[in-house]
Every structure is written in C-alpha cells, then in structure tokens.
Structure 1
Amino acid sequence: MDSETYCVFQDRKYRVGERWHPYLEPYGLVYCVNCLCREGGNVLCSRVRCPSLHCANPVYIPQLCCPRCPGDGMLSWEHHEPDTFRQPANREARHSYQRSYDYSSGLGSVRQAGSLPKYSSSRTNRGVIADPQQASGTIVQIVINNSHRHGRVCVSNGKTYSHGESWHPSLRAFGVVECVLCTCNFTKQECKKISCPEQYTCKYPQKIDGKCCKVCPEEIPDPHSGDKDYLCEETIPVFESVFLEKGETVRKIAVMTDNSAVAEIHVWIIQKGVLRQFYTEKMSKEEFEEQQEFKQITRTTASQWKIFSEGEVQISHMCETRICRTELEDLVKVLYLDKTEKGHC
C-alpha cells in the first residue's frame, strides 16, 4: 500500500477511513476509545461520549462502551458498519474472555509511594505498598468497572513496569538500592530486602558493582557481552512543542530518525488539565526542520518510544474525567534515558 493510503498504529496498518478500538495490555480492546485513519497517514483517537440515561439501573453490554437502559436497542453512537470498523483479530482472539470488562468507568490515581499511608495486610488488595519506606516511585492505578476488576502499571523514576517485572528502587540520596528488589503485580508494588547466602560455592567470593551479594569469580559477567546491544540501541532525538489555542493546551511530542524522510508527531489536546483527545501526524523532514515551535528535549530509543506510544491509550481513558498533569509528565519521562543507558557504549 502507498504510504498516503494507510496509517500505522501500534505496529498495525489501517486503510484511510478505517476505524478501530486500540489495544491495551493486559485488558485487550479499549471500547471507549475510537481511532480513525485519516488521509496523509494521520491517526485520530477520541473517547466515546456517553449520553445521560433515564433509567436507574443501566446495564453494560460486552464490546460496547456506554451503558444502556434495559430494553433499549443498539446505541446509534456506538454502532459502526463492519466494513469501516475493524478490531485487531489476532489480539482480540488472545483476550476475547475480557470483552465483558467495562472501560467507561476507568479511573486512575497516582500517589507518591513515600506519602502512602500504611495499611494492614487485609487491605493490600487496594494496591498500596506494604511498607512505604521501602522504595520510591509512583503507582498508576486503573480501576475497571468495579473494585474487583482492576490492574496496575507501576512507574518508578520515570520508568514503566508491567505485571511481573522487577527492579531495584532508586532513592534520591543513595542512588540505586541494590539490596532491595521491587516487583509489580496486578494488585500492588512489593519491595523486599534481598538476603545474601551465608555460604558460597567458591572460596573467595567477590563484591562487584551492581550486585547486592558477593559472587564467585566464574559468575562475574563479561563486561563486553550481555546487555550491550540493548544499552547501545541507537538513539533518536525527541522534540516538544506546547502552546495555547482557543482555551486548550496543545502539546506535541515528535521524533524523527536519521534514515526516515518523515517526522512522527503525537498531539495531545488538553482542556483544564483533562486529556480530551490525542492523535498522530506525519510531516516531511524538510517541513519539520522549518518548524520553529519544536525544541529538542532529549534522545530516546525505539523501544522507549514504543512504550510511550502505547501508554497514550492508557493515559487517555485514565484521565477521562479528572486532571492528569502528573500522569502525562510521567509518560514523557519514559522517553528520558538514564546515565547507564546513555554512557554504556
């Protein structure tokens, strides 16, 4: 297909005029967000606006965003012809059991871990850290439909961690705390102290940087192998533009690779602190270089840019009805690389 006749969103191609629901791990399709492929390869994503209902007990229907009153027919504002509204087939099949989730009530809360109150173990299912003194970071909570259907993404020092991922926390005064390990799961961020063995298999274990416990000489990694390829991933410049237009804040984040003839621009429309809409634009390299509004803010990698792009969908339905300046700033921080990633090569 010609580049002007299709759009690329989350690594999938869509024809001009085609509509779809974006996909968000681990929940599947987000039925309360509609995306449209426009001419020029630009993508426009906006939330479904649900009208007020006249009944006291509305019901939620699988694969629909808005609730409806019992006995009502198909909601016209959610119905789309099958030839213009497509769902990603391979992803839908993997998460078809989650269609009954309701995204229309998605709420988010972000609190600094250091300020979280202590709760007893009987309340740890609400997503707080068992001991707030153990680590610094931010918990982003997404509540879907009710308190029994929820998931979380943990953000610590600008880095995003999904369910099952582990990391060493970073404290401002001490740097990375190698002897504390934090893990993100569906219900809470757990941090615990690492216990080192009393005996080792070798006679003279050694203490090395980046490790809490001593290691035997044969276990010391080769500094010229391992994660070098990841840490040496090619970086690309990130540009930003922020301005006011008709009472709304328009924030643009853009990247352009050296071997690409076009710049990819992500546009956020923010009204009174609420993210109302986001979409992507493409602009030729020559035209982009003439734009005086963009200023370079950092350099990032393709993998971090992908995390940023997928995070837009999550932020969109988190910030449906409340101010989300903190969440938006945390998402931008994902693009910043730490010193080890910058200086390893």
Structure 2
Amino acid sequence: MGVHVVARQAPRSTATVFSLSSASSPILQIISSTLDNTLRLDYQAEGKPHSFASFHFPGTNPFSSETWVQLAVSLEPDRLTFFVDCQEAAVLLIESENKINLELPQDVLITLGSTLGKRDSKFSGYLKTAKLSLKAYPRRPWICNNLTEVESLVPSYQIKVVWPFSSDINKVEENDRLKKLERRMGELARVLDMVQNEIDKLQKDDRLQKLEKRTEEVARVLDIVKDEPCCPQPCPPQPCCPQPCCPQPCCPQPCPPQRCTEAKVPDCQTPACNPCPPQPRPPQVCPTQNCKEENVPDCQRRACDGGNRECSACSEENVPEVCEQQPTSCVVNGYDFPNGAVIPGGDPCQECRCVDGNMACSPVRCPALSCHNPVRHTGECCPQCEQCKFQSKVYVNGETFTSKRHPCLQCHCSAGQVSCEHMAASCPTPQCTHPAKHRRQCCPTCSKCEYERRVYTDGTAFTSAGSGSCLQCRCKGGNVLCSEEKCPPVHCSNPVRDPHHCCPVCKSCIIDGVEYEEGSKWQPEGLCSSCTCVDGETLCTPTPCPPTNCHHPTTITGSCCSVCDSCTYNQHVYSNGQRFTLPDHPCYICTCQDGTVQCETQLCPPLNCRGSYTPPGECCPRCPGI
C-alpha cells in the first residue's frame, strides 16, 4: 500500500497526516510534529491487535521547513520506504516478528488530516494532493531531475521494536494475506464505482420525472383555456343588494351583468350578496290583471321571488297559489335575511337564524376545556384556554418547550392543548464509535462513552462486563479502547480464581519458604508475637504485656514481658540493690533499685601535694608515689 501527499504544515503544530482506523481503535497513522521536529509512523504489527509500535523518520522532519513538501510512504509487511521531495529514499527494514499488519478489516475507515475520534489530531496547514495506492510504490511517484537512475531502494535503516510478547509468522502466510488484501481492495473499488453510477442515474431520472410532470401541468392548463371560454369568477362583496355585481372577465369574453333576483348566467357564478348588510326590498308591483284591481285585494303588496304571475279570474279565489307564496325570508330591524341565514345580535351567547320567516334563537354551546383558568374576551361568548399544563408546569399559549422527562420531545402550547414532536431523527451523526447522551439532552455526543448500556466519563478505565473481567477498557473521546489484562505469576501451590477478578490470587501465605493456609495462626518469635494468614497476607501482632512502673525493666529469658526485679542499663543487667560505676563516667556511682537506675556524683578528698594525677578508670586524683 502507498500514500502520497503534497502538504504544507503550520508552524508549532502536531497533527495526523494520514490514518487508517477500525470501529474500535486506530490501525495505522502518520504523525508530523513541527514542535519537536519529528515525523513518525504508528502501526499494528501482525498478530498483535491491541499493541502499537512507533518509529521515527530518520533525519529532520521535512514539514518543519514551512514550505510545500512532497511525501510518499510505501508500506510493505517487512519494509517501509519514505520518499521526500527529490532526496534519497529512506528504506527501513522491519524484523519478521514485528511486520506491518496490512490485512485490513471490512469496516476500515480512511481519514486524511486527522485520526478518527481524536479532536487534537486535525492537520493545521494546507493539503494540495492526497493519493492512496493499493500497491507499494517501487519508486517515488513523481519525477526528479537530479535523480537520473532508477532507485534500487537499498535498505538504509533497520527498525527493531521490543514487544512484551512475539509470534512467528512464516513467509507463506504473509503472501496469502497480502493477496487477500489486494483482492479485497479491488472489490471495494468496484463497489464504489457501482454506487457512483447508481447515484448519477437516480439524479438523471429525478430531473426527467420533474420535467415530465411540469409538461403535464402546462398541457392541462392549455386544455382548460381551450375548452372553457369563460371560467367561473366570483363577484366581489357588494355594499347592498340587489345592486348589479361588477363584471369579472376571466378571458376575452366578459361575464354579463347580473342581478340578485335574476336567473343563473351560464359560465358565471351566481353572485352572493352576503355578508353585505341586507336592505329593505321594495315591493314588486304585480303586472296588469285580467280583472278589476279592486277584486284582487292586497295585490300591490304581493312580491314573488320567482316573479309575479298574472291573475286569470276576477275573484280572489282565482289568484294562483304561486302568487300567494308565504314569505320565507326574515325582516329584522329593516334588513332582509334569507331563509337559513345567521342573524347577528347583541348577545354573543345567542345564535339566531332565519327559519321559514321567523327568527329562531338558541344558546351557543361552548366546547369543554382542559385548562383550569380559561379566559373570556370581550365580545365573545365562550372562554378560551391561554395556558397549558404539562408535566406539572404551566406554559403560555404559543410557547415552544422541551419535555423534562423526554429531552427528544419538542412540544408546543396552543389553545390549552400540548402537541409534541420527536426530534431524535434530526440529531447529527457523532464522529465516534460509542457516543453517549447527557442528562436532559436529546442528541448523543462524544464527550462520554456508552458501552454495554453503561455510560462512562472521558478517561475512565473499566472492566468489560460482557467479555469477562480480563478485558480492560478505557473511554477516550467517545471511543472505547479495550485490551487484555496480563496476569503476574503466582508463588503458591493452590491459587484461587475470583469471579470478580481476572488473575488468580494466592489465599495462602508463604513466609521463609513455608506455606501457611488461609486462616492459620503461628508464632514466629515464640510467645512474643502471633501471626495470622488473611487473604494471602500475613498479619502479625505482638503479645500484650502488663505495664511496668520502672524505667529500666529487664526481660527474662523465655519470657516476652519485662519485669522490674532487675535493671537493664547500657545493655548490662544489674540485680536489685547493686551499686556500680559507669565505664565512661567513673565519677558517677549508680544503684539499681526496683528496675530503676539512679546515679550520683562521687566526692573526692582534697590533696596536699603537687603533680597529682587521675589513674585511668578512676574518678579522684592521686599524689605522685601513692
């Protein structure tokens, strides 16, 4: 595999240039630091999935020059080659037990300019070119005029990495894995091409469907204009009736003028005079009758909606019924209301209508309210809810809020009713493998880790409950990294396995090569102390002794406790009542009395001679010759 980048890194920065990661941890990463002038490669060796090896690029970090740098890294299981600008290639051999693991998992993620899940790894600077090759580079992927011959890539360095354990992988297995990797990368490339083709096809189909739909709409409009010479148009509200409605042309042919009492005009809607205030309608005069007018009482006051009819006889009994229709409209306060129309009144709690010429009123029925304090406005009959009570809290009308119990529910108060919408689908996708939700938050973040239905703070180390106690895990940036715990050797003959611990422990105690069982007791110093084995640890306590009332007690052989029958002074034992002098202070005379030593200064007699002297080991001086 090969990586080729052209980049310029910002000064005093440390960042990842290129990385490969799985869902749980990084696999390979190239890290450049202009702070300490280093360029290094971190990778997983074959057979060691939970351990990382690191080595540095020999020489100065090329990105420290703060100029554009061409860098190509050729990765092979047993060697690593660095190509920097037109410098000599650096070839590094890797020992067989620490070969680079190029067998990538199916969920491998390729990241340029950062390491997945690490916020502080982002590249600071400029990236001009980035290429990934499925095969190693046999030579640098650009032309250098100062290098005329093909580089032989002779190894110039050899890397040795010390691991806590090693495994031997033969050459046949390496070649098989490399071939599998190449086939897998080829399959992934073909899948990506197929997906891109499908996306292009769907985009073309979508544009074609929109164009066809728009064409059909235009065709329907053309058909309507062609078939209907005058489309229906409503007349605007009129100040009163029966004034003629205004002509409303919808095409070159205008609608004819209309009257409220006239028949329906084709292709034009009958005008509606409401909500114009009704006006008193003047009585229509009956046409000339075939009889004497005095023989038709009240003829001048009869008005028919369908038009007046002629009377065919001279007597009132001969007047047609159609001309004696009872009025079906209502006249209230000088205004005429048609049958079934609502008649406005002064009481908002009464609803009145015109029913067969009579005004019928009924009380307004108000809907049931769910709030405790409804509000009634002036001019309205029914009170309204202007507050909502939800989860023991009151919200005003029109307020939008988040549920306290379910942070993903966004709710709205309207007319006393609360409606909620689930917002989890709109959360952004976190850039980590194990994001966690904070309390009273809807969307998960990478500041904590959720693993096996438990939430851990960033940096917390824990033991995986579902994989046994030997799998030690740590939360870091929303990602959970796990590794097997290594058990130290035990030195007892019967170690015990605790279900809450990974490694076996010794419940017995080993002292000077002697093994004591759990709970056993012994006296290593005779009667003066007592020891007990508790959970593999030795706990010793001295034998309790009664208090002594002297300053220089003596411990008798075979006994643990001191007594005041004699005196131990300057590592010498003196019997009770014995007088003695101190070798270093011959002028002090001491006496042992009931375990306490008391000393007093000896008095010397005066001398009547010259040249007196004090013999060694004595207190008083002597005269010469004595």
The higher-RCO structure (CA 8 Å, 6+ apart) is 1
TM-score, normalising length: structure 2: 0.14
Structure with higher Rg: it is 2
- Bigger share in helix: 1
TM-score, normalising length: structure 1: 0.23
